[in-house]
């Protein structure tokens, strides 16, 4: 029986022992000065990560709850919106927009490729009444990181809002909310922020508030106007996940102590090593180098071998968990996460296990080739 486990999926991700320990702090009331002080500290630290002076809300919900909050507060029935879809989570923006009665313009991009900013510009020019553009920073289902900076510059020249899903990216991939004109950025706790599931974090611009205050969609728990009223007292509208707030404060301390530039450089290094290893094993990557995610690497299964067969061997024999493909990519790709509490040895363990699993399923592999390629990246050795 495999007792030791290696979790390498894009959420939930491993939680640092320091964060786990913090969350065992004896419970305290959420309507106390102690909580208010904690809440204020967290928001101040999040503003550094988000690179924003905007209001930031820590909501007790999943990342999808954060996404729904963004839609519920900006989309009234009949509003025209643009969703930029290049994977499963771009599709989620479309599904949410439909649920709130939007008139949907869905722009689809081939899975594994990034959003083309010029197409965004063209759609906005042809539809000047678009109210909101919904984008994805890091498309977890494919391993693509989109150019939010370029998209933000385009949307900023129009009345439309730019709402970004940063659920898997924020904390592992840099984003500059104010400089890049992101009106609402939402993320989740269980990915690059190194926490268990249960929190959504959201920043809101002045431009967005003008829309939110006049929005007609019904909402109760996800009402940002209520949340802002409570935030003025460093409180929350409803009962927060107090232990997760404590953990978030600690995980943010860890990131700021490491230095945000170092955090982002670490994730890029892990990506580069993982991609070099996959290429050395003769496998095909889902994405090109120019849009490859720093936090997750998507790999096409070899011809004639199911990705899920490889994953089963990894889990059953070696205790390593990779993520599978979603929708049309099911059983065609596997995904290796290196986000949050991840380092060089995590990548080496993943690649070593992958080499053995590939051997088990009959794919000809030179054992050690992938590990060597990753090691060379980590050591700065040129091939």
Binding-site residue numbers for substrate are 335
Q: What single DSSP character describes residue 162?
A: E
Peptide linkage before 273 cis (omega within 30 of 0): no
Of 110, 104, 186, 196, which Cα lies nearest the Cα of 148?
186
Pairing verdict, β 284-285 and 296-300: antiparallel
Determine the Cα–Cα distance for residues 61 and 315; give it in Å rounded to an integer.
Answer: 29
Note the maximum CA span of the chain.
62
Determine the Cα–Cα distance for residues 67 and 91; give it in Å rounded to an integer.
Answer: 12
Give binding residues as ranges: 335
Determine the Cα–Cα distance for residues 290 and 276; give it in Å rounded to an integer.
Answer: 14
Residue with tokens 């820590």: 58
Residue with tokens 């992958």: 354
Of 252, 160, 154, 150, which Cα lies nearest the Cα of 201?
252
Determine the Cα–Cα distance for residues 50 and 47; give it in Å rounded to an integer.
Answer: 5
Structure tokens at 361: 């399923």
Of 167, 344, 192, which Cα lies nearest the Cα of 269?
344
| 43 close to 56: Cβ distance less than 8 angstroms | yes
| 258 close to 341: Cβ distance less than 8 angstroms | no
């Amino acid at each position: 029986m495999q007792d030791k486990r290696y979790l390498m999926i894009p959420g939930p991700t491993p939680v640092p022992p320091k964060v786990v320990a913090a969350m065992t702090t004896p419970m305290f009331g959420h309507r106390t000065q102690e909580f208010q002080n904690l809440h204020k500290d967290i928001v101040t630290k999040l503003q550094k990560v988000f690179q924003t002076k905007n209001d930031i809300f820590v909501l007790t919900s999943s990342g999808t709850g954060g996404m729904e909050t963004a839609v519920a507060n900006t989309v009234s029935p009949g509003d025209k919106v643009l969703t930029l879809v290049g994977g499963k989570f771009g599709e989620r923006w479309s599904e949410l927009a439909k649920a709130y009665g939007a008139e949907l313009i869905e722009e689809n991009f081939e899975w594994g490729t990034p959003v083309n900013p010029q197409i965004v510009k063209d759609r906005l020019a042809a539809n000047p009444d678009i109210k909101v553009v919904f984008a994805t920073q890091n498309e977890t289902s494919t391993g693509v990181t989109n150019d939010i900076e370029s998209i933000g510059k385009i949307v900023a020249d129009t009345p439309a809002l730019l709402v970004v899903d940063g659920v898997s990216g924020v904390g592992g991939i840099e984003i500059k909310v104010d400089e890049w004109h992101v009106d609402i950025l939402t993320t989740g706790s269980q990915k690059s922020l190194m926490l268990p599931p249960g929190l959504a974090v959201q920043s809101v611009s002045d431009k967005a508030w003008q829309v939110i205050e006049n929005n007609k969609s019904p909402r109760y728990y996800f009402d940002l106007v209520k949340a802002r009223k409570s935030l003025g007292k460093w409180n929350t509208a409803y009962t927060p996940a107090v232990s997760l707030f404590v953990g978030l404060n600690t995980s943010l301390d860890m990131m700021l102590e490491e230095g945000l530039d170092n955090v982002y450089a670490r994730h890029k290094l892990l990506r580069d090593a993982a991609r070099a290893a996959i290429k050395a094993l003769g496998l095909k990557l889902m994405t090109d180098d120019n849009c490859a995610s720093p936090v997750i690497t998507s790999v096409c299964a070899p011809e004639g071998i199911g990705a899920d067969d490889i994953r089963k061997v990894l889990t059953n024999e070696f205790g390593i968990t990779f993520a599978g493909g979603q929708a049309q990519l099911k059983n065609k790709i596997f995904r290796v996460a290196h986000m949050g509490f991840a380092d060089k040895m995590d990548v080496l363990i993943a690649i070593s296990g992958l080499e053995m699993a590939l051997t088990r399923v009959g794919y000809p592999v030179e054992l050690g080739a992938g590990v060597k390629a990753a090691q060379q990246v980590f050591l700065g050795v040129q091939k």
